[in-house]
Structure 1
């Protein structure tokens, strides 16, 4: 399959999100395994770095701001034999962008694949809810004029959501292969309508391998903490949806530090998460027992660092995934159903949400998991093996599509 031309897109690659980059790295490796000699092009906002790291051709990040060339996007989709929407939670977070790319591909008769894409149980409220402003005020006034018989805000929101869900059904039914991330995504897609020919795979980040430890560049402070015999708690809070009870979290971390734990702030987006966690560390009373892992990190580096921890607490899904790959115990803070869905496989419940964090549950889970590492490893090994088998089954179908594209 040396002549197969593959375009990977539909995800905001190159935007400093380690989770997205982990997906990309693993999908590229998988495609090189299934179709040796294939030509892979990645739509990314970090072209040179992606070319150097993954040895692929790149084009600008299509579909996302800032402005890009729609004509170039259409030409690249038409040039490809296969367009792969390569992961993330885009079916609910930003569905219209990759769906428009699928529509172009279908019009151009380019084969299309959804690979490991996820969907929350609700669509992104920033896209489909009427946010505070002039439009909401006007619709509220119209509602009042009807003596509340017609809720114009609700009517518009329902129309927006119905249009998006109908588009999901339409384009997915035209795809050559749809591999969803998890059973919960399958249920969410079926809530949109009838999409019969789909299968459940797994997040491609399950395939990631850690970078060699001696190649991970760290400050002297960070390396001292990560190699110390003290128990180490990794933490990542997404800056996309910050914790409402941040002050209480800082107090919780100080209590752990007072018990001789080390706190390792592990940003999954160095541009946004790191400043937030630097601020949190600055407000700790016992900051000497903590460190922020700074700098832009590859997925393999993050995985290697996670492997030095005794437990991870995160509101970012992909840090939970990466920790579990190495059987590091995990505690999730929900910021959407994707975290809850992932934890279900381990028979875990989130420690509340970013809006209402449950610190009693967090402390109880931490104490339990720290003292039962072997038990968690047994469960996580079974979960990881199951997810790898799902990916193996999906790879068979993907190989068929790649062969058909020749």
Structure 2
């Protein structure tokens, strides 16, 4: 039987993002299940840890800064039988990078799979908006010279977005298999152009299983809090887009601590989220009733820790996903439509956004969910089974494609 060379990339793997690593671990498992004879190579910025944890081959992280070898990337894509854009929200967050990799694969005849990728309803403003600076000032001056009859800033931004959306539709239509994360992503893709063969799957992290609790190394303080009988609230705020109203958040956490709740700060990126979590905790009046789970954590460790909590509040999508896998009640803070999209099947709405958080809604949801764990478990079980069914249907399509390699 021929060995199938599978290259997984298009996502900044190896950059300390637990969500991306959870996706990667589960995608590797899916390909091993479907194609045991496959030789899996991962494009990652942390080759040693990725090889040791997942037993795969690795190549450098292609597409993302710092500079990488364009020739090496093209050679690796050419050598592969299948290139897989392996998840995350890259269709809106950084589409040019994986689309460029797909373009190379299509040019050299490598089969292409888009697997579990998501898309917000808006493209990344840091890429497609003209930020303050000389260029924006010049365009604004040109608009002023036309007495503002022409908005040159808006025109240039729309041109950039239109080009990006056209490229999304064009490259996805050239792929051998397109499996999107959710129905909302499918709608967002169709807003770019008709992609008739795209189907809806689910986030691969739904398949993750927890690590053995006794094998997890924790500080004495964190273990005591996590193993206590007190009600425990997990919290993660992404450092990528911090909460505007931090003082109101700290006041909210102090009110919970005064009610004898324990606050568990659970960073999903130890290098960026953890310092933010430490700062939030230090600013609490009642920080003795809290702990930060620090250090580099595997996805399976984070899942096991989430399972010890009574409720999770997060602006990080994948902490919400992992908590729901173990039927831990969740409250989302929107950081793009992906959080709102995930909450929808649960009948939940987010507690506002990182720019305008609704702490009254957060409190009422917490009070409702904390005393109705069984009801949430019933709903989350149904949602999880639905997502696994969508994944199974997508895996059947993938199996057919790999069989033809």
The answer to whether the superposition gives a TM-score over 0.5 is: yes
Structure-2 separation of matches of 1:286 and 1:381:
35
- 1:335 and 2:330 equivalent? no
In structure 1, what is the equivalent of residue 16 of structure 2? 16
Alignment gaps of 5+ in structure 2: none
Structure-1 separation of matches of 2:181 and 2:75:
29
Structure-2 separation of matches of 1:96 and 1:360:
39
Residue 355 of structure 2 aligns to a residue in which SS?
A: coil
Structure-2 separation of matches of 1:63 and 1:377:
40
In structure 1, what is the equivalent of residue 393 of structure 2? 393
- 1:294 and 2:298 equivalent? no
In structure 1, what is the equivalent of residue 371 of structure 2? 371
Structure-1 separation of matches of 2:214 and 2:110:
43
- 1:203 and 2:210 equivalent? no
Alignment gaps of 5+ in structure 1: none
In structure 2, what is the equivalent of residue 258 of structure 1? 258
Write out aligned runs for 1:4-403 (5 A). Answer: 4-403=4-403
Deviations 1:262-283 (A, max 9, x none): 0000000000000001000000
Structure-2 separation of matches of 1:355 and 1:254:
21
Deviation at 1:37, TM superposition (A): 2.5
Structure-1 separation of matches of 2:352 and 2:368:
17
Residue 288 of structure 1 aligns to a residue in which SS?
A: helix
Structure-2 separation of matches of 1:404 and 1:92:
31
Structure-1 separation of matches of 2:254 and 2:224:
19
Structure-1 separation of matches of 2:2 and 2:93:
34
Residue 285 of structure 2 aligns to a residue in which SS?
A: coil
Residue 238 of structure 2 aligns to a residue in which SS?
A: coil
RMSD (CA atoms) = 0.6
Deviation at 1:148, TM superposition (A): 1.1
CA contact (8 A) 1:312 1:331 kept: yes
**TM-score normalised per structure 2:** 1.00
CA contact (8 A) 1:2 1:35 kept: no
CA contact (8 A) 1:2 1:36 kept: no
Structure-1 separation of matches of 2:167 and 2:38:
31
Deviation at 1:2, TM superposition (A): 5.3
Deviations 1:53-111 (A, max 9, x none): 00000000000000000000000000000000000000000000000000000001000
Residue 190 of structure 1 aligns to a residue in which SS?
A: helix
CA contact (8 A) 1:233 1:263 kept: yes
After the TM superposition, which parts of structure 1 deviate over 3 Å for at least 4 consecutive aligned residues?
none
Residue 161 of structure 1 aligns to a residue in which SS?
A: helix
CA contact (8 A) 1:241 1:354 kept: yes
Residue 345 of structure 1 aligns to a residue in which SS?
A: helix
Deviation at 1:50, TM superposition (A): 0.2
Structure-1 separation of matches of 2:3 and 2:15:
30
Structure-1 separation of matches of 2:158 and 2:255:
46
Structure-2 separation of matches of 1:220 and 1:148:
62
Residue 229 of structure 2 aligns to a residue in which SS?
A: coil
Structure-2 separation of matches of 1:89 and 1:201:
14
Residue 346 of structure 2 aligns to a residue in which SS?
A: coil
Structure-2 separation of matches of 1:139 and 1:157:
11
Structure-1 separation of matches of 2:340 and 2:194:
25
**TM-score normalised per structure 1:** 0.99
Structure-2 separation of matches of 1:345 and 1:292:
30
Deviations 1:324-360 (A, max 9, x none): 0000000000010000000001000100100011000
CA contact (8 A) 1:332 1:343 kept: yes
